[in-house]
A = this chain, B = another copy of it.
Amino acid sequence: MKAVMVNGIERPLDLLNQSKGKDVLIQLKGDKQFVGTLLAFDMHINVALDNAKEIEGGEVKKNIGLTFLRGDTIIYISPASNK
């Protein structure tokens, strides 16, 4: 068997596609974190978030609401309620 499919994830972007409309945690370079609802992403991993909040040291530092994040600074994106 060549392809492995867990929850229908065959390519990494499938995971992001499944996370649309859900809350995600986004870790940026330089220890910034965002939580928010994933509205959209593109192949550069640019993302649009709704109700975005900047997190520092586990606490909400700033509400920035609707936000465009450049993919270039992103380390990982994780759906919030999957552990």
Contacts and interface: CB of A to CB of B under 8 A. Distances in A.
A15 B68 contact: yes
Interface in A16-75: 16-17, 19-21, 25, 28-30, 32, 34, 37-42, 45-48, 50, 52, 63-75
**Copies of this chain per assembly:** 7
B40 A10 contact: yes
Given A9-B48, A69-B75, A83-B65, A14 B40 contact: yes
Interface residues of A, number: 54
Pairs of residues from A and B, 6 with the lowest C-beta to C-beta distance, nearest first: A65-B83, A4-B20, A4-B21, A65-B82, A12-B46, A66-B82
Interface of A: 2-4, 6-7, 9-17, 19-21, 25, 28-30, 32, 34, 37-42, 45-48, 50, 52, 63-79, 82-83
